[in-house]
Structure 1
Amino acid sequence: MTRVRRQTAAGRSVLTVLTAFGLLAGAALTGAAPAGAVPAGRPGKRIAPGVTYREFDITAAAGRTHAHLLTVDLGNPHVRTDLLYPGAVAARATVSRLADTAGAVAGVNGDFFDITETQHPGVEATGATVGPAVAGGQVLKAAVPKGQRFGPALPPGTTTREVLGVGTDRRARLDRLSLTGSVTTPQGKLPLGGLNQYALPQNSVGAFTSRWGGASRVRAVCGTDTDRAAACGTDTYEVTVRGGRVVGAVGTPGSGSIPSDTTVLVGREQGARELRELAVGDAVGVTHDLVAATAKVPYAFAIGGYPVLRDGTPLSGLDDTASAVRTVAGFKGGGQQMLLLALDGADDSRTGLTIAEEAATMRDLGASDAFNLDGGGSSEMVTRDDGASGVTVRNHPSGGAERPVPNGIGVFSG
């Protein structure tokens, strides 16, 4: 059973006393965070071995905001992290449901996602995320083109392929995951341009597997590499491959669940023309994987978003004007300790932080690296108390209720 935490007047008065003792900063967190910008040395509440939770106020440019922080010791053999998701890429559920279903002791929301398709009448939003995703060591999806993403502008020099992940060495790191793969046909080998994505690159062929779910694949051929709102393509083709053979083809992308032994290939423009060369019965092989830019070990899990702090230095060009409720993940100690922070969306504390202030806050908490996740109505943190049957929502979602999201970061104990 999920419970929503309601902040009491008594709890607020305690925070006021802490402020009076100088544990919280009164200056905006822009540039280098001032000493004491967040309370230091307070142990917080133990959620599980190696997992603690605490909350505190931050005073930023737009006013006071309330923060919720999880500290996760990845070096503790009883602790692990993984991707929370509802069993399909193109599906959504609340963070509390995702955590309870997976048996997590804590969690936060994750990547930005295809939340609305007002630019494409008649096309339903898929709910699929922007960036790559790895869960339980298994590749779920690759990143959409940069011009097709949802969310605020990316910092200069970053892409939709950015991830925060934890490797099989139990260390967190920032990285980029790029799709590699091919489609082998009787006519030759085609490069694979997408994997379980709500938007495919122009002129490409993308693969959809059972991990996609039952959502329509029409959105995959809408927009362009530089304009998400551009019209849907009309030169499209879809081929169904089962057991290594073509078993069907249609001119328009379809919908419905995909069996585990089946891959659906969707082509647009030149990719569609290549797929039209195939006939029922033709042998087709499809390979796909995600290749890390820096990691030398496989990822146990990885999630999309974008970096805001790297090696103790905020990225250049971070926005310092728009304040919002945000979720951010980071790490310190060479990746052995993960920090998960979600801001509160209650009416009296929803002023939030700018991206620049977010980076400074994480650095002040000791993080060497930090990674921005989806915010606003998606921002959420949950924890499960000892003996409880379900998690408790620790922050107040800014929309007044939990928003269903496609994924998140789960913390597990045992």
Structure 2
Amino acid sequence: MTRRQIRSGVGGSVLTFLAAFGTLAGVGLAGAAPAGAAQGAVGIAPGVSYRQFDLAAAKGPTHAHVLSLDLRDPRVSVDLLYPGTVAARATVSRLADARGAVAGVNGDFFNITETQHPGVEATGASVGPAIASGHVLKAAVPDGQRFGPELPPGTTTRNVIGVGTDRRARPDSLALVGSVTAAGERLPLGGLNQYALPVGSVGAFTSRWGTASRVRATCGTDTDRAAACSTDTYEVTVRGGRVVSAAGTPGRGPIASGTTVLVGREAGAQRLRKYFTGQAVKVRHRLVASASRKPYRFALGGYPVLRDGHPLPGLDGTTSAVRTAVGVADGGRRLLLFAVDGAPAHRSGLTIAEVADFMRTLGSTDAFSLDGGGSTTLVARAPGATTVSVRNHPSGGAERPVPNGIGVFSTP
């Protein structure tokens, strides 16, 4: 247990308001009090409350933590927590305190290791799209390049949970639409600040990427993350709308503001080799939503487990683990952030199917699974505190640095 943690063993408060719902699909509330009893929620800040409770799951008892956010309260907002660049990691508590968040949880799955590609460094970049404070940070890697459990049928790496400028939370899908134009020839853009590019494509890297090597972007294939790195690559640097340099292999290091590095693999590399120093190049990119015309202030990747009040078909009901999830309730006016405790006494965890059923029991109509295991972290301020404390016990014994998370903000 770290110094930031607040111990929350089996004797923690029980979520009592769910007692009337009974047990759903093997997930029950241990020691639930009669319906109508005190809920035991603790106010973290205006519009934000926290509670913890015991669960009787299929593989044994577990302990859960939930933050409830009232987005109808104008003092409450949600935004992406991240270290300032895509290819970087920090602990949730550090990210939250750096932004002045009152609470938060870890976010998307990410490029955590590269054992299949000796000599290639893991970038730490997340899998799915990301939007912070209304600014697009990155797009999604190909489905076959993601880290994390197998995606449920009908879902993709483009799936996100987001909050629009209308202050409503909703699930969506964000696809990259972009192009590279030079000498009258227009190329489709295959990636934006991604640790993996589609085979044969050209991807753009901006100052939001960070300093990590761009070699990983040319490794694996659209269906096989472990496939060998491409031997046919090329990189072109564009500054002020013109080519300023080129290289036969992707580089590393910071990318200056106003500069775009184009990385090509296979057919994409062959097209980039036609570019020359001084040539005018125009790069355009945006993320297009499939479900909403409202711009997103915040969006984060993960994968859906609950849609329109129904668990997705094909969810795993056998593998239990420590989990993080986010749920949308009350027509998008309430957001629920959920984390399973990783203490040894509770590490039996939940299956993905149990997560979906439990999030529905909490009142969610839509829910997303986020990165779990050693990444699962929920933080919140104690009354009167100016910094957050880790409320769950991370299963690795300490917080794991992660690329992003969901930050909760509340103004007086």
* TM-score by shorter chain over 0.5: yes
Deviation at 1:177, TM superposition (A): 0.1
Deviation at 1:391, TM superposition (A): 0.6
Identify the residue that residue 314 of structure 1 maps to in structure 2.
311
1:122 paired with 2:123, answer no
Identify the residue that residue 133 of structure 1 maps to in structure 2.
130
- 211, 214, 218: which one aligns with 1:217: 214
How do 1:100-179 residues align onto structure 2 when only pairs under 5 Å count?
A: 100-179=97-176
1:251 paired with 2:248, answer yes
Structure 2 vs 1, CA of residues 396 and 223 (structure 1 numbering), >3 Å: closer, same or farther?
same
Map Cα deviations across residues 81-140 of structure 1 (whole Å, 9 max, x no partner): 000000000000000000000100000000000000000000000000000000000000
Identify the residue that residue 389 of structure 2 maps to in structure 1.
392
AA of the residue aligned to 2:6: R
Identify the residue that residue 372 of structure 1 maps to in structure 2.
369
> 1:406 and 1:358 mapped to 2: Cα distance?
23
1:206 paired with 2:207, answer no
- Consecutive unaligned residues in structure 2, runs of 5 or more: none
Would you say how many aligned residue pairs link Structure 1 and Structure 2?
Answer: 407
- 279, 284, 293: which one aligns with 1:287: 284
Q: Match of 2:345, SS? A: coil
> 1:153 and 1:299 mapped to 2: Cα distance?
27
Does structure 1 conserve the Cα–Cα contact (< 8 Å) formed by 2:220 and 2:227? yes
Kindly, what percent of the aligned residue pairs are identical?
A: 68
Structure 2 vs 1, CA of residues 59 and 304 (structure 1 numbering), >3 Å: closer, same or farther?
same
AA of the residue aligned to 1:30: A
1:30 paired with 2:31, answer no
Identify the residue that residue 97 of structure 1 maps to in structure 2.
94
- Consecutive unaligned residues in structure 1, runs of 5 or more: none
Map Cα deviations across residues 323-375 of structure 1 (whole Å, 9 max, x no partner): 00000000111000000000000000011000000000000111111000000
Identify the residue that residue 352 of structure 1 maps to in structure 2.
349
Calculate the TM-score normalised by the size of structure 1.
0.94
Identify the residue that residue 197 of structure 1 maps to in structure 2.
194
Deviation at 1:406, TM superposition (A): 0.1
Map Cα deviations across residues 148-190 of structure 1 (whole Å, 9 max, x no partner): 0000000101000000000000000000000000000115000
Identify the residue that residue 403 of structure 2 maps to in structure 1.
406
RMSD, aligned CA: 2.1
> 1:333 and 1:30 mapped to 2: Cα distance?
23
Identify the residue that residue 6 of structure 2 maps to in structure 1.
5
Structure 2 vs 1, CA of residues 349 and 35 (structure 1 numbering), >3 Å: closer, same or farther?
closer
Deviation at 1:387, TM superposition (A): 2.8
1:51 paired with 2:48, answer yes
> 2:127 and 2:32 mapped to 1: Cα distance?
31
Q: Match of 2:112, SS? A: coil
Q: Match of 1:334, SS? A: helix
Calculate the TM-score normalised by the size of structure 2.
0.95
Structure 2 vs 1, CA of residues 132 and 367 (structure 1 numbering), >3 Å: closer, same or farther?
same
Deviation at 1:24, TM superposition (A): 9.8
Deviation at 1:226, TM superposition (A): 0.5
Identify the residue that residue 278 of structure 1 maps to in structure 2.
275
> 1:289 and 1:20 mapped to 2: Cα distance?
45
Deviation at 1:34, TM superposition (A): 6.6
Q: Match of 2:69, SS? A: strand
Q: Match of 1:404, SS? A: coil
> 2:44 and 2:16 mapped to 1: Cα distance?
28
AA of the residue aligned to 2:25: T
Q: Match of 1:361, SS? A: helix
Deviation at 1:259, TM superposition (A): 0.5
Identify the residue that residue 82 of structure 1 maps to in structure 2.
79
Does structure 1 conserve the Cα–Cα contact (< 8 Å) formed by 2:104 and 2:379? yes
> 1:48 and 1:204 mapped to 2: Cα distance?
47
Q: Match of 2:346, SS? A: coil
> 2:279 and 2:3 mapped to 1: Cα distance?
51
Does structure 2 conserve the Cα–Cα contact (< 8 Å) formed by 1:25 and 1:59? no
Does structure 2 conserve the Cα–Cα contact (< 8 Å) formed by 1:30 and 1:320? no
Structure 2 vs 1, CA of residues 410 and 180 (structure 1 numbering), >3 Å: closer, same or farther?
same
Identify the residue that residue 326 of structure 1 maps to in structure 2.
323
AA of the residue aligned to 2:5: V
> 2:335 and 2:17 mapped to 1: Cα distance?
28
> 1:68 and 1:21 mapped to 2: Cα distance?
14
Deviation at 1:7, TM superposition (A): 3.2
> 1:38 and 1:301 mapped to 2: Cα distance?
35
AA of the residue aligned to 1:303: L
Structure 2 vs 1, CA of residues 380 and 38 (structure 1 numbering), >3 Å: closer, same or farther?
farther
> 2:379 and 2:8 mapped to 1: Cα distance?
14
